[in-house]
Every structure is written in structure tokens, then in C-alpha cells.
Structure 1
């Protein structure tokens, strides 16, 4: 179990909330248009990523591997972030954050679930109540940025949340896959959206954002990526 502290942004005020996480799930291939998902799978196969037996997918994550940090350490130069919405299920309440399912692309060609455990999840330390943003949901924009070889910040991902499974469908999917059948204490990373760049960019920086154009409010997380290199011959 991991104890986490968030700032909850409501329509009227902000408050501190505490969350005891017992399970964390990273979903994948969660696009509402499954024909586009299958096309995306074919693209990933060219990158060496094995095709799943069925979609969507769900991967159990080590619960300690989620941070608010502004820097992560990785063992491979071939890693990249994935912008995703995040559901925090606490009792009868559900909150929304934004995060990145950072993944080792080299290891992904061998084992998807292992490629996710070797890199942490990163997320915002601020949340919205799902019930307050649900009516705006399909118009909320999910974006991701990285940096290229010249160090320039570039748009990496962008889509409306209408492109991804709804929170209700995502929670039902995870619940049906789970042996617990209850989501209290569960954090769910939604699965990501297509790349603007068309191919992976293994940059030294990643940023993810949820932007609600109706309210002008944003949730954000960002971090530097540092490859371990302080021992010779490793």
C-alpha cells in the first residue's frame, strides 16, 4: 500500500486529500475507435512491440512506482512517456489526474509488463472530482510534449478525451478483470493517445496536460529523464 497526498481542485475551493493506494493498473489500447487501435497495433509491431491477444489490455503495476517527482532515472536511452488521464478511486469517490506511463521501449519488445515496471508512473499532485468535469469530458484536451535532440520542446501527443474510453467504461473493464471486483484504493492509468510525431521520441523531458477549455483549468505533470551513467562499464 502507498499513502499519497493530493490537492483537490473543486469548482469552489481547494483542499488536501489523502489516498491509500492498494492497486495500480496501467491500461492500454483503450481507444474508443477499435479500428484505429488495430491500425496502431500494426504500427507498433514495426517497432518490435508484440501485439496483444485482445484489446483493451490491463497491466498490474507495483504500487510504489508512482511519483510526483520532476526527475526520473532510467536504465536505457530508449524510453519515452505516454500522456494519459488517471483515475483515483477512493471509497465511493473518483478523482481525475493526468500522468505519464513512462516505458522502456527496448524492453517492451520482450515483455510489455516488465517494460512498465522498470520505469515509474509520473502524475500530477492535483486532482479534479470526476463528477464536476464529467459533462465536459469529451471536450477536455489531453496533450504530451517532449524535447528533441536540439533541446526544443515539441508537441508529441494531442487528442480530445473523446478518443479514449470513458471513465465508466474504463472502470468497468478493470473491475471485470480484477479478482477483487471493487475499485476502492485503485489507481488507473487510462492508456494513451496517438503520437503527433508518428514515431517514438526518446527525449530527456516529458510533460503531460489535461486542459478543460470550458473552465480554462489545467492539470499538469512534467519531469526530466536521466539515464543512469555514473559507473564505468555498465
Structure 2
């Protein structure tokens, strides 16, 4: 499995999103966009019109993480707009199979996110519908939080379930991913890494992406 780095624009300058995307162009695999509605999580960020504008402004594939109520209604629109990956939360989706299939039908990868306290085992039967599992390594809603080590065993269990079913499912981690934590995530089984402050608070975001990739790739299972 190859390491993928997805810088989160939640930590970027919202007044200069096109320029901020350009700072990681050529080194980032994805641009991670957190859509928050101030209902599912206690924060309000951006929505479909801004995502559409960003898609026109960058060649980097966009990875939309919907931290919103009623993702069943809204998720397909992000895929139809051109997002390469659209992730909905287990805690918010009322018809997850239908929604994951609608995301795929609209041409995007289907992502399924779990909060730190949500068990992966309850969703094992949904694995055939999922292209990427996102395990939150902080409580969702705000950037800059401290990584929760208690999620590491769940990453390991999730990787084991993926391998048990033999699917080509990516395993993404989001929250507190940095030079200090990314190796532990890789060792536990993650292969897609969302990094906000670790990239955009750096003097050179592109170099920060390279450094994170090197650290994660040092694990013998990846690279």
C-alpha cells in the first residue's frame, strides 16, 4: 500500500484557499475539505459552493469529509460537483448503504467515517460498499486537537477486518496527525493521513508533506 497525504484546508487561510492549495500542489495526494454545519459538530466551515470554487481552482483531487446532519441528502451533490472522495459519518447517516452507493454512482470514492467511540465491528457488513474508512483520531469539529492514542487499537482492528474481507479499502486517519504521531498510525495500519496544522502551520507546507510521507513510508508495510 502506498502512503497518501491529504492536507486539511481547515488549517489553511480561508481567504486564500486557491493559493493555499497551490502551496501543496505536486506533493499532496488529496486536498482534505472539512464540511461542518454547526449541528452535527459545534463548528461552521463551508459548503458546496466553496467546494465547487475550489475544484475549479486546483488540480489536486478533493477529499470531502462531511461532518453534517442529513448527509444522505447532501453527499451525492459533492460527488456530482467533482469531488474525488466523499465521506459521510456513521453517526449521521440514516441510510448509509444507499448513500454510499449514490456517492459511487456519481463518480466519487465512497468514504465512511467513525468517531473515536464508535465501534468498527458494527459496520463490518458494510465493507463492500466502502472505498475508504476514516477513523477520527480526535473528536470531530475543530482543528488543532491532540491526537487520541486510544484510537490506535481500533486502527489495528480495522486493518485486520479489511484484510479479512480482501477489499481494496483505504484506511484514513484524521486528527492530530503530525511528525510525532504519523508513524504510530502507519504501524497500526493506516495508509491515508489527513494533516492540518502539521502542514499549514509549517513555514514550507510542501516540505511538511514530504516529511510526513517519509515518516509514514518508513514502516515496512507501506511505501
TM-score, normalised to structure 1, is: 0.25
Higher strand residue share: 1
Larger radius of gyration: 1
